[in-house]
Structure 1
Amino acid sequence: MKQQKGFTLIELAIVLAIIGIILGAILKGQELINNAKAKRLLNDVKGWATLEYTFYDRYGRFAGDGDGDGLIDAGAFATSQANFGANYIPPTSALLTPTTAYQNSDFDAPVATLEAAQLLPAAQNAPQRRTNVTNAFNGITYPASVYIDNVGTFNVIAVKNIPCFAAKVIDSNIDGSIGANVGYVREIDNTGALTGNNTWSCDANNNEQQLVSLVYFFDKRPN
């Protein structure tokens, strides 16, 4: 009877070491991809603010400020990405005048206004509009305004449904430190209300992949 030969301990150790190296490379590669996406999102957030200021320089108001009162009128937070374009507004010159009446529930308006000013690619349908607001993590980033009880309304760049680690990258780069309820970057819930917590919600269960949302007070911030 022919005797079967198994792996020696040295051979098994080599195989395990190779598997470990491969897994390490995969994890490192994923980490590099995530970091690249987070940096891209950070640049996109700053880019949206730059677009708003560029529009302001041209027209004396922010894109989405239909009545010229200094506040972005359109900005519904409790809406999904799929609803961008639901009230599709073709980019026309009428959007560039401060007398244009916007629906407060139609958060297409600020994006459509930037398109009309040729600061964003003009969307011809709802999918193209959603492409203009989709970020690196398949969440959404767009100009809006947020009301804070007993404080007032503030212009923001809203970023919804991104991994918590990416939110912290934005927070630390813009504010210089990580804090969910201080500075220009703050965590919000699905209704657009500030959470009021000093730590990010993902810290409670130590899950950096947890999806969170934030606002960047690009114009002025609450105290």
Structure 2
Amino acid sequence: MKSRTLSARRQRGFTLVEMSITMAAAGLLFAAVTTGQELIDQAKATKLLNDVKSVEAQIQQFAQLKGRMPGDCDADGIVDYAADATSRLDTANTTRSDAYSYSVLLPTIPADAAVAALESDACTLVSEADTPVTTNTTNANVWINDLKLAGVIGDSIPNRTFAKLVNEDFMFLGSVTDEGGESADGADYNAIVIHNVPQWMARRLATAINGQDARADRSRVRLLNRGTTDGTYDERWQTLQAGTADSAAMRDGMVTVAYFFDRVPESKMETDAL
């Protein structure tokens, strides 16, 4: 008799109270994990915004000191480096990381009228007689070296480290060519181009700077088309990017954005609205 009673106790299931407590604990744990992830996401998005705005402030500080943008060696108002030509489809970012020096090289000024060809080169801005200053559209290091020589940032940080952002990829300062297909007037515009930004983070950046994320081809922060190498923008932040295999990968799909901190390309008039 006693043995049957003990066996019955061992086989007894959870009571409703015990099940309620377990479910409530599981719900609290899930809520804590979800809230914690949201806080992490918010912190990352905020850091990206702060880092980009900090770099913009350093660019403006340099412009006030020198009367030109860093990397604008011929002082024509456009940064020489072709930021829109940098590979957008390299998901491993090897190509982009190789564009920046990882050695702590003291910045130097090349000879008069010479091109800034070395990773340690800044702009020369000095001509020989009637020879204009030669520019370099492929050396991504020049603008950072300019900042270092002007004392805007310290020269002990490697260029690659300085250019790397919280999204584990790199930003580039340079020109984005809009040849009139996307804007009212074709021209080159100065921009900070940021690669491999998760789509959710890009939308928060757009909301913070543009004031909205409804359109991705308007205002200062724009979604660059990943399948091109010019200033072609996608209309919606939800657009599936070239090189993305999973059509459902919207939130974490990687995108490339351009922040036009200087002049903003004029939006082309909607033809279907006429």
Q: TM-score range by the shorter chain?
A: 0.7 to 0.9
Residues 192, 33 of structure 1: alpha-carbon distance in 2 compared, 3 angstrom cutoff: farther
Give yes or no for the alignment of 1:146 onto 2:173.
no
Shift of 1:139: 2.1
Larger Rg: 2
Is 1:175 aligned with 2:184? no
| RMSD of Structure 2 on Structure 1 (CA) | 2.5
- Give 1:98's match in structure 2, choosing from 116, 125, 130: 125
Mapped pair 1:83 → 2:98 = yes
Give structure 1 regions of 4+ aligned residues with deviation exceeding 4 angstroms.
86-89, 202-206
Q: What are structure 2's unaligned runs of at least 5 residues?
A: 111-121, 127-132, 181-185, 241-246, 267-274
**1:165 alignment counterpart:** 200
The percent of aligned pairs where both chains have the same amino acid is 28
Which one has the bigger helix percentage? 1
Tell me which of 80, 95, 106 is aligned to 1:73.
Answer: 80
Note closer, same or farther for the CA distance 1:87–1:44 as it changes in structure 2 (3 Å cut): closer
Deviates more, 1:109-118 or 1:176-185: 109-118
Deviations along 1:113-154, one digit per CA (max 9) or x if unpaired, are 212222223256xxx222101112212223121111230110
- Mapping of 1:53-72 within 5 angstroms? 53-72=60-79
Q: Retained in 2: the 8 A contact 1:87–1:106?
A: no
Does 1:135 find its partner at 2:165?
Answer: yes
Match 2:31 to one of 24, 45, 64: 24
* TM-score, scaled relative to structure 2: 0.72
Q: For residues 15 and 109 of structure 1, do their structure 2 counterparts lie closer, same or farther at Cα, with a shift above 3 Å needed?
A: same
The answer to whether 1:209 aligns with 2:245 is: no
Partner of 1:119: 152
Q: C-alpha separation between the residues in 2 aligned to 1:202 and 1:116? A: 41
Equivalent pair of 2:198/2:255 in contact (CA under 8 Å): yes
Moved more, 71-80 or 96-105: 96-105
Partner Cα distance (2:36, 2:53) in 1: 26
For 1:188, the equivalent position in structure 2 comes to: 224
Q: 1:66 to 1:163 in 2, by over 3 A?
A: same
> In the alignment, is the contact (CA less than 8 A) between 1:72 and 1:155 conserved in 2?
yes
Give the superposition deviation at 1:17. 1.7
2:172, 2:26 → 1: CA distance?
A: 43
Does the CA contact (< 8 Å) of 1:202 and 1:208 recur in 2? no
Query: How far apart, in 2, do the equivalents of 1:195 and 1:9 lie?
Result: 60
Instruction: Mark the runs of 5 or more structure 1 residues left unpaired by the alignment.
Output: none
Contact 1:181 1:198 in 2 (8 A): yes
Which among 9, 32, 35 is matched to residue 42 of structure 2? 35
Q: Equivalents in 1 of 2:57, 2:233: separation in Å?
A: 27
- 8 Å Cα contact 2:198/2:254 also seen in 1: yes
Q: Does the 8 A contact of 1:96 with 1:117 survive in 2?
A: no
CA contact (8 A) 2:100 2:141 kept: yes
Q: Tell me, in whole angstroms, the C-alpha distance in 2 between the residues paired with 1:206 and 1:96.
A: 42
The residue type equivalent to 2:250 in the other structure is N
TM-score by length of 1: 0.86
Task: For residue 37 of structure 1, report the CA deviation from its aligned partner.
Answer: 1.3
> What is the number of equivalent residue pairs in this alignment?
220
